[in-house]
Amino acid sequence: MNPEHLARLVYPEFRFGKTTLADAVELVAAGVGGFCFYGGTAAEVFEASRVLKAASSTPLLIAADYEDGVGRWVAGGTELPTNMAIGASGSAGLARRKGEITALEARALGVDWIFAPVVDLAVRPANPIVNVRAFGAGWRLTAEMAGAYISGLNSRGALCSLKHFPGHGDTEADSHLVLPEVGHDRKGFEDSELRPYRALARRADSIMVGHLKVPAFDARNPASLSGAVIKGLLRGDLGYGGVVLTDALNMKALSGEGEPGVRAFLAGADILLFTENPSGLFAALARAAHEGLITEAMVAQALARQDALAQKIAQAPAPGLDVVRCAEHLAFSAQAAPACLAWAYGEGKFGLKAGETAGYFEPATAQKDWKGLAFVKALAGLGVNVKPFEPGSGMKLVAGIFSRPRAYSGAINMDAEERAGLAAAIKSSAGSVIAAFGSPFVLGGLASRPDAALCAFCGLEAFQAGAARVLAGAARASGAMPVKL
């Protein structure tokens, strides 16, 4: 067995500020198939991708988790609204444009493959890792938005990846920390989580399998290590013939990387993603090949699927660097915001007028650490006199809440201290509104309910300004809630 052929199955991380270019070039010499980039500036990403591709004797694919645009990870790129914000708009046009902008900026920097869209369903308020990364709770909306996003990516030369198969939505655990279990029976999966995959599988460049225990299909193995899930359900039942990759092998849902990596390949995965110990995984694959568990034919089939993606990329020349964070891309969020903002409840029951005083509040957050400075500035620009909220002063309350998925956090919604502070503020106000600049599920189960709640689904400055305009009566929120509270 050619060790370089085995190495092409492996895609290590390249984390700017941690991984050195020299070390990555050594991995290229060993034969890795590509890298998953994290962080960096636009200049650093461009240079690293150029150097690594030039050093490789086989087509090297660079991938990244640019779910919300290049700027979500790269300094100097454009950050875009979350999927849930796009889902609230119900606009396939906005979903496609998000894909187009992401692809243009990524390809300009040398990144070929976007590990998106997330097609998990946001059906569990306490899910700490899906939430606003999902388009919504409904599979039809998800399939429509994700399909339009894929069209946008592909139209500008980037590859996509549906994730996290067979569905990470209906769990309250973060697979970065533990192995989640999804309790649906097979019919439950068929009626919900599998629907977007059935709708989109034949259009997908790749599908990422999650580190999830799904007893409906395999009572023993995580989905990412399960032949019943990958070969049986995904390739057999859904008829998917493209690239299958694992979620990151370093996640704590798995124990170790070498043996799970071998098991994932034997289960049907073509690419083993993000190992912290590439040489250890190379050795484990070589041992399995020596023992006859991995055959030349199996490896050749996986590499042929990779080659097909490389050929697709080669047909689409990369755009120039001038597209990265260009004025047109920066304008997208402001243009999209009115269609994405949605009232959770209380439309018409709270408003602010020029000359009126309002107290601004973020739970358990000092004024110097406010995340809503753009929101406060926009309200002030509309003539509202905004001050830090003072309980019992007769002020109207405007509470800004910023909550979004964070890998390895294990939680997303407000803790007890934040909830208590918010409840006390609402009770002592002369009228109140919550502006949720992230998870809409923070609105569930409040001890004191405000008069109104407006959801922006992300904290981008353009969305903060848009929310301010809605509260001041200068604009209308025309989105619809894509989830149930």
Burial class (CB in 10 A: 0-12, 13-18, 19+), 320: exposed
Which of 68, 112, 247, 270 is labelled catalytic?
247
Distance between CA atoms of 264 and 248, rounded to whole angstroms? Answer: 11
Q: One of 5, 168, 176, 211 is an active-site residue; which one?
A: 176
Q: What is the DSSP string of 179-232?
A: --B----HHHHHHTTHHHHHHHGGG-SEEEEPS-B-TTT-SSSBGGG-HIIIII
Going by C-alpha positions, the residue among 457, 423, 452 that lies closest to residue 352 is 452
164 is an active site residue: no
Q: Is 355 helix (H, G, I), strand (E, B) or coil?
A: coil
Q: Name the residue with tokens 């100097």.
A: 76
How does 363-399 read in b/e, with b if 16+ C-beta sit within 10 Å? bebeeeebebebbbebbeebebebeebeeeeebbbbb
Q: Two tokens at 246? A: 């694992």
Q: Any idea what the Cα angle at residue 282 is, between residues 277 and 288, rounded to 5°?
A: 130
CA end-to-end distance (rounded Å), the chain: 54
Q: Which among 104, 59, 60, 56 has a CA at the least distance from the CA of 80?
A: 104
For residue 343, the surrounding DSSP H or E stretch is strand 342-345
The CA distances from residue 21 to 30, 111, 160, in Å, are 14, 16, 26
Q: Tell me whether residue 247 is one of the annotated catalytic residues.
A: yes
Residue 33 structure tokens: 């198939």
| Catalytic residue IDs | 176, 247
